[in-house]
Structure 1
Amino acid sequence: MNGTTRRQFLKPSAVTSTGLATWLALDHAPVLAQKRELTFLSWNHFVPAADDELRRQAEVFGKQANCAVRVDTMAHLQMPAKVAAEAQSQAGHDMYRSAGADPFLYEQLHVNLDDVVDKLGKQYGGWYPFAAEMNLTKSGWKGVPWFWVSFPGTYNQAHFKKAGFENPPKTWDELLRMGKVLKKQGNPVGIPISHCSDAHSTYWSVSWSFGAKVLEADGKTPAINSDKTAQVLEWYKELYLEAMEPEVLSWDDAGNNRFILSGKGSWIHNPVSPYNAALKEKMPIADDINHHNSPAGPAGAHSAPPILGIAVWKFSKNVELAKEFIQFL
């Protein structure tokens, strides 16, 4: 057997020792040994199965892109504070579910996504105008439109038929008239007048349908002090006193869901989540729940649904990977 000289042994040992020393000094494994991780912050969807599907899609993408995708979800009312904290510290997730004015509030901290929006628009037939209103800033697209939440009328058909109404309300004035009868029957209607997102969505639908507005078309001149705004407030006051109950003053965004599913409520202005919940839990009331277009007013039918997008932070180290994931979704 041939022996190994000290010189032969020391040469590879020196290389190994140098590599190990470098690894320890850097305090992390070599880049080639690390698997990329993309992190995405989203909300707790009102239909939990949607979160399961999002995580499934993230797993599929991760396998295709040879990376790990971590989807974190939290209550939607907690997200503004979390997003603000990440913006302040410039650390956190790579991307997040944006909403409302996020693309404008954090315009300088969001990655420009013009290329992604242009590609997807050409591929799938363009974008609705309101998608641009919520994501397109003066410096470009700072969010990619993801989905929007419809706010139809959700009503209990059995309660309406018992009150002598074969069809749901087509206008807000009809809702007021029907609501008075339904409340006397023991089945009030419900619109949140509280500190929650649903209260805003419904208020703007009612307000715009009556022709009221906050600003003129120039975006600068105040217009809220008007006869039409006064009509909206009087309508709300009458609906509250004669067709609703005081509980609407303390509702959160799940309050109207609980109200219609309790069997007492007759009508709410809300997405289809309570119906989906009734189906999932095999609740008999599911057979009585139906939906109709949001009511109209003298100025037509208008909606103010939540328009949600996906934004990517500039401090992310996975910008291109985040763009790929958005296109995959």
Structure 2
Amino acid sequence: MLGRRSILGRAATLAGTASLGLTGEALSRWSRAWAQEQPFKPEPGAQLRFLRWSRFLDAEDKATTENIRAFTEATGVPVRIDNVWQDDVQPQLSVAANVGSGPDLAWTLHTTPHLFADKLLDLSDVADHIGGKYGGWYPLIEGYGKRNGRWIGISNVVIGVLPVYRVSAMKEAGFQSFPTDTDGFLKLCTEMKRIGKPAGFAFGRAPSDGNSFCHWLLWSHGGRLVDENNRVALNSPETLRALDYARALAPSLIPGTVSWTDASNNSAFLGEQVWLTNNSVSVYAKARADRMAFADDIDHANWPIGPAAQPTEMHLVYPFIAFRYTRYPNAAKAFLTFLLEKPQYERVLDGSVGYLSHALRAYESSPLWDRDPKIRVFRDVAARGRSVGHAGTLGTASAAALAENIVSDMFGEVVTGQSSPQDAARSAERRAQRIYRS
């Protein structure tokens, strides 16, 4: 999915109205007033270095750059921005954590903060301050953000990964609305295959879309990698039930999805090879931006509920962090606080037209979600999402299990016939135990 962000370069046409938040002189005036009242007073002579992953959204980059400029004007704290390719973020930050020198702050990917949690500044006061002003944080954000009771990372946004489908194909398959349960979902996929308009979901190592789909399959049937005490619990009746379901679902999908990357389902959907897949808002945005004939036929849905009887969705989070070695901890906290205040935060959300969803409950009522009914479902992804550490705690082991594709490999082995559900579950459990015992 991350390689598809350029799709949204022109997606602002979806917004249809002026951007939320302050700009220009209005932003400068607000920022100067904020600097006099906010609780984190920068140290004299403070200067900051902020590392972020580049090639994101044009609208987000523009909004964040202007927000940082306004912060510097209001506080006198210069901020150097280091843009690096996404695959270089974790290695560079790991080196910085080990040597105790490098950027003061960073915008990271997913589980990165938990790889060197003891090297990070405690951001609990920032999280409490912002959370208290804006309705509180969702449990998903706390799960990724906290370690041993303290905030080590604050995710400002969530990227939702949800079913995206062609409405006409769904109706031709005999459904007037998208199914809300896993039995209905299986029937829909079967019927779409029958009419020659199949679905396609990555049963392999696609980092975003494949993991989202396979974790939903596991969790929706009550399966889990570990229990509440972080003991490996993968080889269970619930996991076998999920694998049996996957084996029943696979024949209805377009062939070859085990080898799909995160770009494969985009091209397949937009090329009308599949009529149902999972994605962020980017597929819809691309169709609208390019004025494709079927753009108005596209819609999104929540993941169906399975035997677990509750939402079991995996979405993507992106935490801010600050290192303990920084010489200017107050300036770092002021910087993060500024970016999370409403005038700045709403500009970033609004410019993404649904690709980025909020991490704070107050933004459930943002006007963004009323502009286009077809992206409204992304409003709730933080409320419905689970961390990859479920049902235990997030940490280095859960991050390693995700990186080693234990869950997606298990499903891939079953749907390709390489292993029986029992053998695949046992093999995946052994792999997980090596990680959690190390």
TM-score between the two structures when normalised by the length of structure 1: 0.80
Q: Which residue number corresponds to residue 60 of structure 1?
A: 70
Secondary structure of the residue that 1:61 maps to in structure 2? helix
Residue 227 of structure 2 corresponds to residue 216 of structure 1: yes
Paired with 2:98 and 2:120, the residues of 1 have a C-alpha distance of 13
Q: CA deviation at 1:321?
A: 2.3
Equivalences for residues 109-258 of structure 1 within 5 A: 109-138=119-148, 140-195=150-205, 196-220=207-231, 222-246=232-256, 248-258=257-267
Q: Which residue number corresponds to residue 308 of structure 1?
A: 318
Code of the residue aligned with 1:250 in structure 2: it is S
Aligned residues: 294
Secondary structure of the residue that 1:311 maps to in structure 2? strand
Cα 1:35/1:95, change in 2 over 3 Å: closer
1:42 touches 1:71 (CA, 8 Å); kept in 2? no
Q: CA deviation at 1:142?
A: 0.7
Q: CA deviation at 1:133?
A: 1.3
Residue 49 of structure 2 corresponds to residue 38 of structure 1: yes
Paired with 1:201 and 1:239, the residues of 2 have a C-alpha distance of 16
Secondary structure of the residue that 1:86 maps to in structure 2? helix
Paired with 1:59 and 1:274, the residues of 2 have a C-alpha distance of 32
Secondary structure of the residue that 1:284 maps to in structure 2? coil
Identity, % of aligned positions: 26
Q: CA RMSD in A?
A: 2.5
Cα 1:78/1:165, change in 2 over 3 Å: farther
Code of the residue aligned with 1:212 in structure 2: it is G
Q: Which residue number corresponds to residue 284 of structure 2?
A: 275
- Greater Rg over alpha carbons, structure: 1
Q: Which residue number corresponds to residue 87 of structure 1?
A: 97
| Most deviating of 315-324 and 186-195 | 315-324
Secondary structure of the residue that 1:307 maps to in structure 2? strand
Q: CA deviation at 1:77?
A: 4.5
Residue 294 of structure 2 corresponds to residue 298 of structure 1: no
Q: Where do 5+ consecutive residues of structure 2 fail to align?
A: 1-43, 340-438
1:43 touches 1:73 (CA, 8 Å); kept in 2? yes
Code of the residue aligned with 1:124 in structure 2: it is Y
2:161 touches 2:209 (CA, 8 Å); kept in 1? no
Q: CA deviation at 1:143?
A: 1.0
1:25-75 alpha-carbon deviations (Å, 9 max, x no partner): xxxxxxx9x994532313543x44323322232233233233443444455
Cα 1:309/1:232, change in 2 over 3 Å: same
Match of 2:79 among 65, 69, 82: 69
| Most deviating of 197-206 and 48-57 | 48-57
Q: Which residue number corresponds to residue 436 of structure 2?
A: none
